[in-house]
Amino acid sequence: MTSVARTNQLLYQAELLLAVEPGNDEHATARRMALEEAALGQLELALDSVLREVTEHTDLPHDGWRAWLRATNVNVAELERLRALSRDPESWLGTLLARLQALHGADGVARRDARAGLIASAGAPSLGDTLRWCHREFKTLLPALREGSSEW
């Protein structure tokens, strides 16, 4: 499988996970949380895959998305664009990276719904909605990243 095909596959799988309705039985909350964390994991794999895509014309080994976003000795325009997004906490990538950090933490990232009678934050989108936004923005940026990378 090519790196382009792998990225597409991972984004499609994330989209499928985000589209599943968790139901309304006694396992619905656990199912929703599992689907959200699974989708986030797929988005992480897709990020790693797209970084492989945009850097495959270099002779440098691929050490994963964390290393590529931290590296300062690699000057690839698409990589610089992603680095800039990663430093902006309001961007889709900054948001995604924050959620990934939580995913790899001891508590995970998915949360139970607020119980009745508790005050919930009115303006905070759900994790699922946040991931759907990140997914849409990722897919929107992808053609531009690929276009620049294909010129090499």
Label each residue of the chain as H, E or C.
Answer: CCHHHHHHHHHHHHHHHHHCCCCCCCCHHHHHHHHHHHHHHHHHHHHHHHHHHHHCCCCCCCCCHHHHHHCCCCCCHHHHHHHHHHHCCCCHHHHHHHHHHHHCCCCCCCCCCCCCCCCCCCCCCCHHHHHHHHHHHHHHHHHHHHHHHHCC
Predicted confidence (pLDDT) per residue in 98-146, tens digit: 999 999 999 999 988 754 444 555 567 899 999 999 999 999 999 999 9
Question: Token match 């992603």: residue?
Answer: 82
End-to-end CA distance of the chain: 20
pLDDT, greater one: 1 or 140 = 140
Whole-model pTM?
Answer: 0.90
Residue 151 has pLDDT above 80, yes or no: no
pLDDT, greater one: 96 or 1 = 96
Q: How confident is the model at residue 150 (pLDDT cuts 50, 70, 90)?
A: low
Q: Is the dihedral angle over the CA atoms 25, 30, 31, 32 positive or is it negative?
A: positive
Predicted confidence (pLDDT) per residue in 53-108, tens digit: 988 888 777 788 999 898 888 788 999 999 999 999 999 999 999 999 999 999 99
Give me the mean pLDDT over the 6-35 stretch: 95
